[in-house]
A and B are shown apart, each in its own frame.
Chain A
Amino acid sequence: MSDQSKQAEIVRQSLKRRYRKERRFRAYGIIAIAIALSALVVLFADIIGKGHSAFIKTTITMDVDIDGEMMYLDDASDERQMKMADFVEPLIQALMREIPGAGESDRDAVRDLLNPYASNQLRDALKEYPDLLGTTQTMELLSHTNVDVYVKHAGDDNYSIKLNQQQREWVDQLVEKGVVDTSFNDVFFSRGDSRDPSRAGILGAIVGSLLTMAVTLVLSFPIGVAAAIYLEEFAPQNKLTDFIEVNINNLAAVPSIIFGLLGLAVFINLFGMPRSVPVVGGLVLTLMTLPTIIISSRAAIKSVPPSIREAAEGIGASKMQVVLHHVLPLALPGMLTGSIIGMAQALGETAPLLLIGMVAFIVDVPGGFLDSATVLPVQVFLWAGSPELAFIERASAAIMVLLAFLISMNALAIWMRKRLERRW
């Protein structure tokens, strides 16, 4: 056999081995992706399975006699009288009428089907329209959380139903009559936190998160980009800049709770800023996000082809013109992507905010940067730690909202990069 044909034989044999290797490697890759995907599917299935029921509320719809005598009220525009009036009685009476079997002795059991805050709905309606006094109105009232849990999770062993046998029968009857009904849970999206799960909403946390993110974005993007441009374009290469670079890279890996401690020590204790407010939360998250933004912005600046820089310099553009006219527009997509990913991290951050008091129980939806607020992940943390199962389902729902925010932010990052990227 000649040398050439011998070599060809060797190559042919090694080919088989090479292709086998390639197939094996591909199989590993597919397995890895399958594992990652199944983890994701399990996560989503669990969260959606637990949380989807939180988007449904249980209501009681009935005709309510707004009888002044029963309520000790003859003028609904009189504030003093309104304070003393009994708004619960008309509701109990109305509900008693819907339950034929219920006698006077069952009053308390019937009342416990109504949400403790349902009377507020009647009071608020009367406050707005005093003329309603003396009329009969069809009202849709929030049911008690126990009714809500019973209607939604009657067959589920995980949930303990806190209604007695008779109450269950009543609710079954009412569901059949259409008095007790389920609908989309707008309360969840229009209210702040509450001790009563049926009335607990996520709006406070969403607004708190948005305010905190606004502070973070306004501070961290300009500071981060300016620092990156300076370090990359203007700073001399020496020991000091090396030291700064090492430290920035280090900061990116510092556990976020450390930033929380720093924020507590500096912003709250030293500067005397208020606790639990979005401004301090935003400042702390800015510290946390800055390294990410600086590192990604520097990478984006580095990736601008040096030929463009030379072209501009060769025409006589000054350093500032080169940066502003050429480097920055080309680096911007990368900078924005890095910043949005940094912001998404900050949006999901809990630990540092616990330390600056954003873990407080806050009922009101914050109205400004200096109002006490909580944020989405902290709200999840609060509800997940609650013993009531009705809160657990809301925690899962809050996670879904948080995930929706994160996914839309990442989608925005991809869209922006696609849009701003220039073709070469």
Chain B
Amino acid sequence: MNTMNTTVTKEAAMPDETPVPVQEERPAETIIQEGATVGTPFADDPKFKLRNVEVFYGQDRAIKNISLDIARNEVIAFIGPSGCGKSTFLRCLNRMNDSIDICRVKGDLHLDDENIYDPKRDVVELRARVGMVFQKPNPFPKSIYDNVAYGPRIHGLANRKSDLDDIVENSLRKAGLWEEAKDRLDATATGMSGGQQQRLCIARAIAVSPEVILMDEPCSALDPIATAKVEELIAEMSESYTIVIVTHSMQQAARVSHRTAYFHLGHLVEVNETNKVFTAPEHELTESYITGRFG
């Protein structure tokens, strides 16, 4: 494990010493060096320690030798063109890829020094700790209350009705939905607006008190006002949760995240402080992307 760490660090540091000359017409594949991530992919005492991660869909290698640390209570944004593997990579973090038969994950993925892909690992327990919010708001076709209470109920987190009520209220408050929803907790959740539904999904995710929340383009189906609310929420939540967010909006990444990771064709090209990525990207591909040359 240790030896592997060091080699990866060396590799990651390499491009810094020998910058590749920029040429417009060169295909991206020739610029990227596999496993060579520019910037600061590693952290001390990380929440997630991910080393040499590879994901295969049948014969296709969707994620190519990615190593990354995700620090505690940080908001890290994954950006990159469509099909670059950022969602696939995100879904490895709570093993949502398990349900896809042809998907195989290789490498070392650790959450608090526990192997995520240990065959003996209980996925249910993992997902209770690593919650997820999806691209399209997907509330259950049940009441608002039941949506939020579902997680605590199946995990047995509340023994009494009053405990459950408290959890529901707290979660809705944290998701900024309490004022709007408190008078119609029994109304069906699918009757709410898209933005409210997405905040309900966030409330549902935090109702089981996860340590990490994965967000897969949480605002792509929302209007700007609802988006602003969710972003505000992300900023507040970063105090108590580690948040990994996949986004297509670079402005959003710039607004909410501490660090930004740029993915390209299954490679992790660059990881840096968000400021740095958007003002002085180290890698030419990152620069091309944020200046809108492709995406």
A interface with B by C-beta (< 8 Å): 236-237, 305, 307-318, 321, 325-326, 330, 422-424
Q: Nearest A residue to B204 by beta-carbon distance?
A: A315
- A residues in contact with B139, CB < 8 Å: 311
CB atoms of A311 and B190 under 8 A apart = no
Given contacts A314-B205, A316-B124, 20 further A-B contacts (CB under 8 A): A236-B101, A307-B134, A307-B138, A308-B138, A311-B138, A311-B139, A311-B201, A312-B140, A312-B150, A313-B96, A313-B127, A314-B96, A314-B134, A315-B128, A316-B123, A316-B125, A316-B151, A318-B154, A325-B154, A424-B190
Which single member of A311, A316, A326 contacts B128 (CB below 8 Å)?
Answer: A316
- B residues in contact with A237, CB < 8 Å: 101
Which of A316, A318, A326 counts the most B-chain CB atoms under 10 A from its CB? A316
- Complex CA gap A117/B125 in Å reads 77
Q: How many contacting A-B pairs (Cβ < 8 A)?
A: 69
Which single member of B131, B136, B154, B204 contacts A321 (CB below 8 Å)?
Answer: B154
Shortest CB–CB separation between residue B245 and chain A, in angstroms? 15
CB atoms of B127 and A316 under 8 A apart = yes
Which label, helix, strand, loop or mixed, suits the secondary structure of the B interface?
helix
- A residues in contact with B208, CB < 8 Å: 315-316
- A residues in contact with B138, CB < 8 Å: 305, 307-308, 310-311
Query: Given that A321-B154, A330-B141 are contacting pairs, would A315 and B134 also be in contact in the complex, using a CB cutoff of 8 Å?
Result: no
- A residues in contact with B125, CB < 8 Å: 316
Enumerate 20 A-B pairs (CB-CB under 8 Å) in ascending A order.
Answer: A307-B138, A308-B138, A309-B99, A310-B96, A310-B132, A311-B134, A312-B140, A313-B127, A315-B127, A315-B204, A315-B205, A316-B125, A316-B128, A316-B208, A317-B124, A317-B154, A318-B124, A318-B154, A321-B154, A326-B140
CB atoms of B127 and A314 under 8 A apart = yes
Shortest 10 CB-CB distances between A and B: which pairs? A314-B132, A316-B127, A307-B138, A316-B128, A315-B151, A422-B141, A311-B138, A316-B124, A318-B124, A237-B101
Q: Nearest B residue to A424 by beta-carbon distance?
A: B190
Scan residues 80-103 of chain B and give those whose CB is less than 8 A from a CB of chain A. 94, 96, 99, 101
Q: Nearest A residue to B129 by beta-carbon distance?
A: A316
- Complex CA gap A81/B134 in Å reads 88
B182 in contact (CB, < 8 A): no
B255 in contact (CB, < 8 A): no
CB atoms of B190 and A308 under 8 A apart = no
- B residues in contact with A314, CB < 8 Å: 94, 96, 127, 131-134, 205
- B residues in contact with A308, CB < 8 Å: 138, 140-141
Q: Nearest A residue to B125 by beta-carbon distance?
A: A316
Shortest CB–CB separation between residue A411 and chain B, in angstroms? 25
- Complex CA gap A309/B151 in Å reads 14
Scan residues 168-207 of chain B and give those whose CB is less than 8 A from a CB of chain A. 188, 190, 201, 204-205
